[in-house]
């Protein structure tokens, strides 16, 4: 697992440690307050093999081991949205830390959408499975630091960004500055909404560190994963929106690109877990959990 540290810049600035999961390209984060040792685990990964439908906790354990090694205390376990490409580790980590879990409040709408797709009308209850459901503009504390929630739809209808001091966890909006932006074609997604979210994030201070949700190296001449760049870097150099690209031009670029993409191989398993806060489907009479996969629902040739 490739790791990298972004040091605190001083009072009011968190230290950010990122852990790249090569199986899914996901980056899970530990954001910590140097003044108090309080930490938030953001977009953590429950490992999943789609061929055998087996889970493991290696990636989440890596983040937990890091917290213990650094003498940190986990205050929050946060996700930016119900991920389509990896299973979230919220529930497993909460069992081990007792920390408060959170996600955006529009997960209720996402749950209703997917309950229809899966034909599981009574399965998803975000108010039951998450401790906090955040609205746009909500603020809460991480140690001595303030966290601001920004609704950032487009990739999903309810994605949120967490801004902690000079660090913003922007999930599936931007990719790394040399790679562009993320797809907007999942149920509830919208390239127009994503463009608006990107512009809102680009209005943050120039030196804000943007931490993205994924990277898939190699990219150009770059072989290693990368996930941090400033607002100023993205505004000037991002190939999809840098230099003042218009909404119409962006939507055409994004929609044309998305039309060529297959669904993630974990998506139909992941949403059943992530809309339950990282919990597998309830065990049946034999003690095992089972996934329900809709046949012929998605029109793309996958």
CATH code, domain carrying 189: 3.60.15.10
- Whether 156 maps to a domain, the answer reads yes
Share of the chain above pLDDT 70, in %: 99
List the Cα angle 287/98/30 in 5-degree steps.
Answer: 105
Enter the DSSP assignment of 217: S
Query: What is the average pLDDT value for the chain, to the nearest integer?
Result: 96
Q: Which helix (H) or strand (E) segment is 112 a member of?
A: helix 107-118
pTM for the structure as a whole: 0.96
Residue 299 domain-assigned? no
Number of domains in the chain: 1
Q: Is 93 left (phi over 0), alpha (psi -120 to 50) or beta?
A: alpha
How much is the pLDDT for 301? 47
Which range marks the domain in which residue 199 is found? 2-261
Q: Does residue 279 lie in a domain region?
A: no
**Which residue from 16, 275, 280, 33 is spatially nearest to 169, judged by alpha carbons?**
16
Position 300 confidence tier, pLDDT thresholds 50, 70, 90: low
Is residue 37 in some structural domain?
Answer: yes
Whole-number pLDDT of residue 1 = 86
| DSSP state, residue 299 | -
pLDDT band for position 302 (50/70/90)? very low
pLDDT per residue as tens digits for the range 123-142: 999 999 999 999 999 999 99
- Please list, residue by residue across 143-170, b when 16 or more beta carbons sit within 10 angstroms of its beta carbon and e when fewer do: bebebbbbbbbbbbbbbbbbbbbbbbbb
Answer yes or no: is 69 within a domain. yes
Residue 132 pLDDT: 98
pLDDT digits (tens, 9 = 90+) for 173-220: 999 999 999 999 999 999 999 999 999 999 999 999 999 999 999 999
């Amino acid at each position: 697992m490739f790791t990298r540290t972004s040091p605190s810049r001083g009072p009011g600035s968190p230290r950010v440690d990122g852990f790249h999961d090569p199986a899914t390209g996901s980056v899970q984060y530990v954001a910590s307050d140097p003044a108090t040792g309080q930490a938030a685990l953001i977009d953590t990964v429950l490992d999943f093999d789609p061929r055998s439908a087996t889970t493991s906790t290696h990636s989440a354990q890596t983040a937990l081991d890091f917290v213990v090694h650094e003498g940190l205390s986990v205050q929050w376990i946060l996700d930016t949205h119900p991920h389509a490409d990896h299973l979230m580790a919220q529930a497993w980590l909460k069992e081990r830390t007792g920390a408060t879990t959170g996600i955006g409040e529009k997960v209720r709408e996402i749950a209703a959408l997917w309950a229809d797709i899966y034909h599981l009308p009574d399965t998803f209850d975000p108010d039951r499975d998450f401790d906090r459901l955040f609205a746009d503009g909500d603020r809460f504390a991480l140690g001595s630091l303030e966290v601001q929630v920004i609704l950032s739809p487009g990739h999903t209808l309810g994605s949120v960004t967490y801004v902690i001091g000079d660090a913003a966890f922007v999930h599936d909006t931007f990719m790394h500055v040399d790679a562009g932006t993320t797809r907007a074609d999942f149920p509830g997604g919208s390239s127009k909404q994503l463009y608006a979210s990107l512009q809102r994030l680009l209005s943050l201070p120039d030196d804000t560190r943007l931490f993205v949700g994924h990277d898939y190296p190699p990219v150009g001449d770059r072989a290693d994963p990368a996930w941090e760049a400033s607002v100023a870097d993205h505004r000037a150099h991002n190939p999809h929106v840098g230099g003042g690209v218009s909404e119409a031009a962006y939507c055409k670029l994004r929609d044309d690109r998305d039309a060529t993409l297959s669904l993630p191989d974990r998506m139909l398993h992941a949403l059943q877990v992530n809309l339950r806060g990282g919990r597998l489907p309830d065990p049946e009479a034999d003690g095992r959990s089972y996934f329900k996969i809709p046949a012929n629902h998605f029109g793309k040739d996958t």
